[in-house]
A and B are shown apart, each in its own frame.
Chain A
Amino acid sequence: MNKQASPIQILVVDDDPIAAETLSHALSQFGYSSTIALNGMDALQYVRSGKYRIVISDVEMPEMNGIDLCREIRRRGSCGYTYVILLTGRSDTASVVKGLDAGADDYIAKPFSPSEMQMRIRAGERILMLESRDLMIFALAKLADSRDHDTGSHLDRIREYCRLLSLELATWPEYQNKIDGIYIQSIYETSPLHDIGKVGIPDRILLKPGRLTEAEFSIMTQHAKIGGDTLQAVAEAHPEAVFLQMAYEIAMTHHERWDGAGYPNGLAGEDIPLCGRIVAIADVYDALTSHRVYKPAYNHQKAVDIISEGSGTHFDPNLVRAFLKLESDFKEIKKSMNDTPEKEDSEFMPMFRCKDVPAATAQTPQSV
C-alpha cells in the first residue's frame, strides 16, 4: 500500500454517504486527501475552487447526474485539467459510453475494488503530470523567447510546423522506424525549447537592430551550445526522460547545416539528429515569414523559394521535399497563428543578412 502523501486533492461525488465515505477512506489509505460532495451542484462549487485535479463521481444522482457534472466541468474549463473518473454499474455500458462522450477520462465499476481504483488514479496522475510538464516546458520557453520576440505565437507555430513535418515523414517507409507517436509528441513538446540558450546572450547583441559584428555574431552563435549543454546535463541526470534527450539535440543542432557549414559543431548530413534538421526548417520558415528588428517579413512564396534553394546545402533534401509537399499547410498555420499580420507584398531585401549567419554562409537567412 502506498501511504506516501500525494499533493493531489480528489473530489468524491456520491449521493450515497456510505459509499462516499468508504471511497474517501480508501483514498486516504493510498495517501490522497479527499473531499466529499453529496450532489452534483456542490461538486461544481468545489471544482470551481481549482483545488481538485481528480474528480471521482457516481453516475446516478438526483438533480445533476455524474454525466451532466462531467459535461459542466468540461464546459466551464479551468486553469488546469480536471481528470474525471465515473463510477458505474458493472453492466452499465450505456452510461460508460455517455460518460466518455461527455468528457470523462475513465470509469470504475461499482462497487469499487481498492487496488483497481488505485491503479486508475495513478493513470490519471500520469496524465496530469504530462500536462503539467508540457505547460511548464512551454512557459519556460516563452519566458526565454519573450526577450527578442515581442509577441507570443512564434513558438506555437514552430511546434505546429514540427508536428506537421514529423507526421508527413512518419508515412515515408525510410522514417517508419524512427518516427512514432511518442517522437511526434516529443518534438511538439520540446521544439519550443530550441532557443532556450538565448537567456545567456546579452541584450545589446540579442536586441541589436542592425548588423552584428563578427565578434557579436560569434557570441550569438553560443546560444545553441548554451541551450544544448544545459539540457544535456538535465538529460544525463534523467536518462528515463526520453524527451529531454530530444530537447538537448534540438537546442544543440538546430543551426547545423546539411553541408556542414552550420554551428556550433559543424555537423553534416545525417550526423545532425533528425529532430534538429526538422526544427531547422521550421525555424527558418518562421523567421523568413515574420518581421524581425533587422528584417521585414517575406511573403510565403519567397520563403518557399529560399528553402527550396537551400535543399542539400542548408537543409536535408528529404525534409525540403516534405516541406514542399506541405507548404500550403505551413502557410495556413502562419496565417491562423499570426500575431503580426505580414504584408503580402513584403519584399526580400537582397542585402539582407541575418544576425546569426556569417556573410560567407548566408545564402539562406536563418532565424536567431
Chain B
Amino acid sequence: MNSSTERSAPVVNRDELIDRMMGSIPMAERMLKRFVDTANADFDLMESTVRLGDKPAIASLAHRHKGTAQTMAIPRVAQCAAELEQRAHTDPTSKLLAILGEMRMLHDEVRQVQQLGLANLI
C-alpha cells in the first residue's frame, strides 16, 4: 500500500505537526504523547470490532483514527486507517487484521519518535 520512498520518510511529519501546533514544540510533544497513550486502546477496540465483524463500527473507528493521525501529521498511519475504513465492508477479517498489524508497527515508530522528542527529530 505504501511506496518504498514513503516508507523511508519519517513517520511523523515534524514540520507539518509543529505548524499545526502554531510553532509550539511543547504543545506538539504533549499531543503526540496523548496520541501514543491512546492509540493502543484504539487499536485494541478496532481489533475486537474486526473480530466481531461489526463493519459499521470498524469503519467509524478507522475514520476517527484517520482524522487523528492526519491532525498529528502521521500520514502513513492515516493512510492505513483510510484503507481500513474503505475495506471494512468488503474485505475478509484476515485482510483487515493485516492492516491493523501494519498500523501497530507504524505506531511503534511513532512511539520511538515521541520518546526521542521532536526537537531531536531531523
Contact = CB atoms under 8 A, between A and B. Distances in A.
Interface string A138-160: 00000000000000000000000
Contacts of A112: 20
A111 B31 contact: no
Interface size band for B? 10 to 19
Contact of A114 (B20, B31, B34, B67): B20
Interface string A23-66: 00110010000000000000000000000000000101010000
A114 B22 contact: yes
A19 B60 contact: no
B71 interface: yes
Interface in B1-41: 19-22, 24, 27, 31, 34-35, 38
Contacts of B64: 15-16, 60
Given A16-B64, A25-B27, A1 B22 contact: yes
A110 interface: yes
A19 B38 CA distance: 13
Interface residues of A, number: 19
A110 B72 CA distance: 11
Given A15-B64, A18-B34, A25 B22 contact: yes
B70 interface: yes
Given A25-B22, A58-B67, A110-B70, 12 more contacts: A1-B22, A15-B64, A18-B31, A18-B68, A19-B68, A22-B21, A25-B27, A26-B20, A26-B21, A110-B71, A111-B70, A113-B19
29 contacts: A1-B22, A15-B64, A16-B67, A16-B68, A16-B71, A18-B31, A18-B35, A18-B71, A19-B71, A22-B20, A22-B21, A22-B71, A25-B22, A26-B20, A26-B21, A26-B22, A29-B22, A60-B60, A60-B63, A60-B64, A62-B60, A110-B67, A110-B71, A111-B20, A111-B70, A111-B73, A112-B20, A113-B19, A114-B20
Interface of B: 19-22, 24, 27, 31, 34-35, 38, 60, 63-64, 67-68, 70-73
